[in-house]
Amino acid sequence: MSFLEISHLEKSFGPLRVVKDFNLSVEKGEFVSLLGPSGCGKTTVLRMVAGFETPDTGSIHIEGKDVVRLGPNARKIGMVFQAYALFPNLTVSQNVAFGLKVAGVGKAETADRVREMLSLIGLPDLGDRYPFQMSGGQQQRVALARALAVRPRVLLLDEPLSALDAKIRVSLRSQIREIQQRLGITTIFVTHDQEEALSMSDRIVVMNGGIAEQVGTPFDIYNKPTTKFVANFVGTLN
C-alpha cells in the first residue's frame, strides 16, 4: 500500500454526483496535482482527504490506516487555501504558532518551531508584522508556514496561487516546490492551471466530471494524452 491511498471514493451533494469512483495512490514525498476545470470535483476530493467532507463510499488510507472516520485534527494534515485565510488580528508569528498552541506544544518549542518555519519560507524577520502589512505572496508563504508548523504527514494545497499576480504566482511555484522537496512532504495540489500542474508536479491527475481521466507524469500528460478531454484541456496553454 502507498503512503496515501484513496480507493473508490464517491461523493454526491443531493442529486449531483461530484466525485465518481476516484482512486489515487501517492508515494511518500510525492507532489501530485489534481488538475481540471472548475467544478470537476478537485476541491471535494481534497476536502475528503482533509476530513472536512465525509465520502459516501470509499476509503482513504494514510500510512496504512483508514482515516475516513477520523476528524481533521487526528489526520495530521496541513492545508493551505486560496487566499486570505490568515487570522488578520494575529501577527505572522502568532499565525504560525496557532496550530502548535491547539496541539499543546510548549512555549519554548513553539518559539523554535516558528523561527524555523519563518526561515524556511524566507521571511525570518517579519514575525511581528500583521497580515495586512504583507504582500499576497508573502501572506501565502505564511499560510504555508502555518500549515507546516505542526509537522503534518500530508500537505494539501487548494489553489494557493490563484488569487496572486501573475509574476508572484510564477516565483511562488518554485518556492513552494523547493520547500516541499526540502521537507520531503507528501503533497496534493489542486489547480485549474495547466502550467502550474505541469511545472510543479511529480504526477498529475487530470479530472473531468468527478472522474480521474488520466494519471501520469507531466511529460506523459502533455505528450501522451490518453483521452480527447486531456488533450484539449492540457493543450490550451497560452
Residues that bind ligand ADP (CB under 6 A): 13, 16, 18, 36, 38-44
Whole-number minimum distance, CB 156 to ligand ADP, in Å?
12
User: Which H or E run includes 27?
Assistant: none
Q: For ligand ADP, give the closer residue by CB, 77 or 120.
A: 77
d(C-alpha 205, C-alpha 158), whole Å: 14
Q: Cell numbers 490518453 correspond to what residue?
A: 226
Task: Write down the least CB distance from residue 84 to ligand ADP, Å.
Answer: 17
Residue 98 phi, psi (nearest 5): -55, -50
Backbone Cα Rg of the chain: 18
CB of 164 to ligand ADP, least distance (A): 18
Of the pair 41, 218, the CB lying nearest ligand ADP is at 41
Closest chain position to ligand ADP (CB): 43
Closest to ligand ADP by CB, 44 vs 93, is 44
Q: For the stretch 61-76, what's the b/e string if a residue is b when 16 or more beta carbons lie within 10 angstroms of its beta carbon?
A: bbeeeebbeeeeeebb
Is residue 88 within 8 A of residue 130, CB to CB? The reply is: yes
**CB-wise, 3 or 81, nearer to ligand ADP?**
81
CB of 207 to ligand ADP, least distance (A): 7
